[in-house]
Chain A
Amino acid sequence: MSAALLTIEDVAVELPTPRGNLRAVDHVDLSLEAGRTLGIVGESGCGKTMLSRAVLQLLPKKARLTGRVMFDGQDLVRLDAERLRRLRGRDLAVVFQDPMTSLNPVLTIGTQLMETIQEHLELDVSAARKRSIELLAAVGIPAPEQRLAQYPHQCSGGMRQRIAIAIALSCEPKLLIADEPTTALDVTIQAQILDLLAREQRRRHMAMIIITHDLGVVAGRADEVAVMYAGRVVERAPTQALFKRMHMPYTEALLAAIPKLDAAPHTPLPAISGRPPDPTRPLKGCSFAPRCRYAASRCHEAKPDLKSAERPDHLYACFHPIQMAEGIGA
């Protein structure tokens, strides 16, 4: 096993709100090796975006972050602004959820691509231009040269997300974080974008964190899956192992929700009745207890720890794990 490229150590994010302190991320530990893919899965509001923003150091100003984010041997939380800036876009790249809002409406696509390249790589204008055209071609944009002079509103949603991916890939990052990169897109385009990400990842040997509310997206695409609920990681395992045998009732519920692929973003999962707990009012027991069909009295009194049982790499936080008779192929 090589040393991890990214380790998230005991990261917690708190946001002050009028209703009180909101714990968006609740002491999460994760790690990722170079070239590998981690899937983070959970329903809306469980803290996936806040966790990714904590890694990128792009949290809202008022947010309080504790813990360590070790990336490539440095703690991003304590890194000074200038060194962080040189790292972002170059070694650490991101694709946001909504391509309609993540590109600047008043700058051309060429400007938005070339500025990143020229910021981090020593290339003159014509070389940066050439590289931009290659990148657009690589992400499947037809007539890339003409696109450079266009503005985002002249492209479809799928095109914009491809452009956002081209920007993210432009400096050969070591880690790409894709935060629900397909949720805002048509179902027909979702698979194309996911395949594009997988292909470019293999080609460039970069690590990737793919965030989604859809277990189906990470099946077969991620090496490892972390399931999040109410700010915590509640189950974590290599993808194969997870799909063979899932232990958390919440993971099971997520699996049942997969056919609803085209549900609108930021909506609660229909397959699981009820909503996640109010993050400003943490529960004493397991945060899934009010919705869990296996819940027993102990579940309401104490929080289950995240720990492993039969396999050291399969962790889960549940007092009454499900014992599945047969696994589901990944």
Chain B
Amino acid sequence: MLNFVVRRLLAMLPVLLAVSLLTFLIASLLPGDLALVILGDQATPENVAALRRDMGLDQPLWWRYLSWLGHVLQGDLGRSFRTGQTVLQAVAERIPVSLQLMLMAEFIGLLIGVPVAIACAARAGGAFDRVMTGSAFAMLSMPSFLVAILLIYLFAVELHWLPATGYVPFTEAPLANLRFFVLPALTLALAEWPGIMRVLRSDMIATLQEDYIALAKAKGLKPARILFVHALKPSSLTLVTVTGINIGRLLGGTLIVESIFALPGIGRLLVGAIYTRDLVILQGVVLLVACGFVIVNFIVDMLYAVLDPRIRHGHA
């Protein structure tokens, strides 16, 4: 098992390096001169040239990458030239909001998707299965901003059950905090559960054909035990992968949802950085998010080993 962990950790290194290079290139190759952006339209060419020299922008690209990477490795991702905040400060401030949003969304998505998938697989082809497969398909084709607006209209405007926008930290007012998060998390979850449901459903249907399920029935086990103990665990490997990959999609979703529901998270930070051309923040945030994604996938690999003893013992 330790061997397995070390192997996976080493495999992450080249990926992280590639991620850093890509992030750097994207930010550097965006049109527009950073020095010009900082100084504004009224800047003289001399001023711009001086600032370019100060910031090292006159150096060749590979040199700039290496020196940026060197700083990053020392934990210095730069600071915003607009607010003066460092990337790490800005991210640290906002990450709890985005994490809470994504966790709640994934949780609600699983809460809907998993039971529906099991119920569908247990009677594949039945009425419930057909209705739910159809609705999942319909949900997938709904853009999240539309879902968000519908939810706001229904639960905030019409029913007055939940606030439409706003945020308070959990530590200050836990209940109010949760109420603010319900609608944005639900918006994301409604886009998440169809994927969860479809993957788990088809894996469950395949698993239920296995010999060992026939044997479980022949042993006279209760149907619930067969579904939840014998079929669910071997069927959940793809689900775990999908949940991991979903984190990436969820991150994309937070851009829109945090903007609509006025949640001060990473998504809003990123959108703001794009509008204000705050390249340092943009670059830093994208790098951190990408690293986060790689780490999530590492955790997914570890979960595989927990779920499937054959992987743990190096048989597969």
What is A's interface to B at a CB cutoff of 8 Å? 56, 58, 85-90, 92-94, 96, 98, 101-107, 115-116, 119-120, 151, 153-154, 164, 167
Contacts and interface: CB of A to CB of B under 8 A. Distances in A.
B220 A119 contact: yes
B221 A105 contact: no
A119 B219 contact: yes
A120 B218 CA distance: 12
A88 B219 CA distance: 6
B229 interface: yes
A119 B218 contact: no
B12 interface: no
Report, as a range, how many residues of chain B touch the other chain: 20 to 34
Contacts of A107: 229-230, 233
B222 interface: yes
Given A153-B313, A154-B313, A58 B220 contact: no
B210 interface: yes
B212 interface: yes
A86 B210 CA distance: 22
Interface in B211-243: 211-212, 214-223, 225, 229-230, 233-234
Nearest to A177: B218
A119 B222 contact: yes
Nearest to B307: A106
A164 B220 CA distance: 15
Nearest to B235: A106
B7 interface: no
A115 B230 CA distance: 11
Given A89-B221, A116-B220, A153 B310 contact: yes
A120 B309 contact: no
B216 A104 contact: yes
Interface of B: 210-212, 214-223, 225, 229-230, 233-234, 307-310, 313, 315
Contacts of A90: 220
A98 B212 CA distance: 10
A77 to B, nearest CB: 16
A154 B313 CA distance: 9
Nearest to A94: B218
Contacts of A164: 215
A106 B216 contact: no
A89 B233 contact: no
B211 to A, nearest CB: 4
A119 B225 CA distance: 10
A102 B234 CA distance: 14
Contacts of A167: 215, 219
Contacts of B214: 58, 96, 102
A96 B215 contact: yes
B191 to A, nearest CB: 30
A116 B219 contact: yes
A91 to B, nearest CB: 9
B218 A93 contact: yes
A227 to B, nearest CB: 25
Contacts of A89: 218-221
B233 A56 contact: no
A292 to B, nearest CB: 35
Of the listed residues A93, A105, A119, the one surrounded by the most CB atoms of chain B closer than 10 A to its CB is A105
Of the listed residues A92, A98, A104, A167, the one surrounded by the most CB atoms of chain B closer than 10 A to its CB is A104
A153 B218 contact: no
Nearest to B212: A104
Contacts of A87: 220
B308 A58 contact: no
A153 B309 contact: yes
B312 to A, nearest CB: 9
Contact of B220 (A104, A106, A120, A153): A120
Given A96-B214, A98-B211, A104 B219 contact: no
26 contacts: A58-B214, A58-B217, A85-B220, A86-B220, A88-B218, A88-B219, A89-B221, A92-B218, A93-B218, A96-B215, A98-B211, A102-B214, A103-B215, A104-B230, A104-B234, A105-B309, A106-B308, A115-B225, A116-B219, A116-B221, A119-B220, A151-B313, A153-B309, A153-B313, A153-B315, A154-B313
Contacts of A103: 212, 215
Of the listed residues B211, B308, B310, the one surrounded by the most CB atoms of chain A closer than 10 A to its CB is B211
B220 A105 contact: no
A96 B229 contact: no
A93 B234 CA distance: 24
A181 to B, nearest CB: 13
A85 B218 CA distance: 8
A106 B304 CA distance: 11
B308 A102 contact: no
Contacts of B222: 85, 119
Nearest to A62: B125
Contacts of A105: 212, 234, 308-310
A49 to B, nearest CB: 11
A284 to B, nearest CB: 35
A256 to B, nearest CB: 32
A205 to B, nearest CB: 21
B219 to A, nearest CB: 4
Given A58-B214, A102-B212, A151 B221 contact: no
Contacts of A101: 210-212
Given A96-B211, A103-B212, A153-B309, A56 B230 contact: no
B113 to A, nearest CB: 21
Of the listed residues B218, B222, B310, the one surrounded by the most CB atoms of chain A closer than 10 A to its CB is B218
